[in-house]
Amino acid sequence: MLGAPAINTRITALLKCRYPLVLPGMSWISTPELVAAVSNAGGVGILATGPLNATQTRESIRRVRSLTDKPFGIGATLLMPGARENAVVALEEEVPLINVSLGKAEWIAEGLQAYGGTLLSTVTNAKHAEAAIQAGADALMVTGHEAAAHGGDVTSLVLVPSLAAHFPETPIVAAGGFANGRGLAGALVLGADAIAMGSRFAVTKDSPLAQATKEAIVDAGESETIYGKNFDGIPARVLRTTASQKVMARRPFLATIVFRAFQAAQKLGMPIWKVLPGLLTQWDKMFIVAQFGAATEAITKATVDGNVAEGVQFIGQSAGMINDIPSVDDLVQRIMEEARHVSTEKACLFEELDFVSNRVA
What does 251-311 look like in DSSP terms, one character per residue? PPPHHHHHHHHHHHHHHTT--HHHHHHHHHH-HHHHHHHHHHHHHHHHHHHHHTT--TTTS
- If asked whether residues 167 and 265 sit together in one domain, one would say no
Domains contained in the chain, number: 2
Residue that terminates a domain, selected from 178, 208, 238: 208
Kindly report, residue by residue over 134-145, the tens digit of the pLDDT. 999 999 999 999
Strands 139-143 and 172-175, how do they pair?
parallel
For the segment 221-244, the average pLDDT, to the nearest whole number, is 81
Q: What is the mean pLDDT of the chain?
A: 88
| 271: confidence class by pLDDT, cuts 50, 70, 90 | low
For residue 250, give the 3-state DSSP assignment: coil
Closest CA to 125 of 91, 167, 89, 154: 154
pLDDT above 90: residue 245: no
- Asked if the model's pLDDT at residue 303 lies above 90, the reply is yes
Per the domain annotation, does 355 fall within a domain? no
- Cβ–Cβ contacts within 10 Å for residue 169, how many? 6
**Residue 360, Cβ density class (10 Å: 0-12 exposed, 13-18 middle, ≥19 buried):** exposed
The sign of the torsion formed by the CA atoms of 333, 239, 233, 163 equals positive
Q: Are residues 172 and 234 in the same domain?
A: no
Q: Are residues 16 and 152 in the same domain?
A: yes
State pLDDT tens for residues 84-96. Answer: 999 999 999 999 9
**Is 269 part of a structural domain of the chain?**
yes
Domain membership of residue 225 (yes or no) is: yes
Phi/psi of residue 169, nearest 5 degrees:
-85, -5
Is 291 within 8 Å of 17 (Cβ atoms)? no
The DSSP 8-state label assigned to residue 320 in this structure reads G
Does residue 168 surpass a pLDDT of 70? yes
Q: Is residue 174 in a domain?
A: yes
- Would you say residue 107 has pLDDT above 80? yes
Task: Tell how many helices (H) and how many strands (E) occur in the chain.
Answer: 15, 10
Residues 229 and 183 in one domain: no
**Longest pairwise C-alpha distance within the chain:** 77
Instruction: Measure the CA–CA gap between 64 and 39, rounded to whole angstroms.
Output: 10
21 strand-pairing partners: 195
Taking the C-alpha atoms of residue 138 and residue 121, their distance in angstroms, rounded to an integer, is 8
pLDDT of residue 112: 98
In this prediction, residue 281 carries a pLDDT of 46
Report the distance separating Cα 30 and Cα 216, nearest Å.
Answer: 19
CATH number for position 136 = 3.20.20.70
With beta carbons less than 8 A apart as the criterion, state whether 73 and 46 touch: yes
pLDDT beyond 90 at 60: yes
Q: Which residue has the higher pLDDT, 42 or 267?
A: 42
Quick one: 186 and 280 in the same domain?
Answer: no
**Average pLDDT, stretch 97-125?**
96
Q: What is the mean pLDDT of residues 236-252?
A: 78
If asked whether residues 39 and 146 sit together in one domain, one would say yes
The type of residue at 308 is V
The conformational region for residue 344 under phi > 0 = left, psi -120 to 50 = alpha, else beta, is alpha
Q: Is 249 exposed, middle or buried (0-12, 13-18, 19+ CB in 10 A)?
A: exposed
Give the 3-state DSSP-derived string for 22-73, with helices as H, strands as E and coil as C.
Answer: EECCCCCCCCHHHHHHHHHCCCEEEEECCCCCHHHHHHHHHHHHHHCCCCEE
Residue 275 has pLDDT above 90, yes or no: no
In terms of domains, do 85 and 198 share one?
yes
Q: How many angstroms separate the CA atoms of 15 and 21, rounded?
A: 11
Residue 285 has pLDDT above 60, yes or no: no
Q: Which pLDDT score is estimated for 103?
A: 87
Residues 36 and 143 placed together within one structural domain of the fold: yes
Considering the domain architecture, whether residues 75 and 204 belong to the same structural domain is answered as: yes
Q: CA 253, CA 116: separation in Å to the nearest integer?
A: 46
Q: Work out the pLDDT band at 154, boundaries 50, 70, 90.
A: very high
Let me know: does 28 contact 304? Beta carbons within 8 Å: yes
- Report residue 264's pLDDT band, with 50, 70 and 90 as the boundaries: low
Q: Rounded to 5, what percent of the chain is helix, strand, coil? A: 50, 15, 35
**Are residues 193 and 249 both part of a single domain?**
no
The mean pLDDT of 249-269, rounded to a whole number, is: 57
Q: Flag whether pLDDT at 273 surpasses 70.
A: no
Q: How far apart are CA 50 and CA 319, in angstroms?
A: 23
Q: Provide the pLDDT for residue 283.
A: 46
361 located within any domain: no
CA dist., res. 187 & res. 176, Å (int): 10
User: Quick check: is 357 in a domain?
Assistant: no
**358: in domain:** no
Q: Same domain, yes or no, for 160 and 121?
A: yes
> Domain limits at 276?
215-303
φ, ψ of residue 59 in degrees (nearest 5):
-60, -40
User: Is 334 inside a domain boundary?
Assistant: no
So what's the pLDDT on residue 284? 52
21 and 149 fall within a common domain? yes
Chosen domain end from 208, 237, 253: 208
Q: Is the pLDDT of residue 287 over 70?
A: no
- For residue 79, the model assigns a pLDDT of 82
Domain boundary, last residue among 208, 243, 267: 208
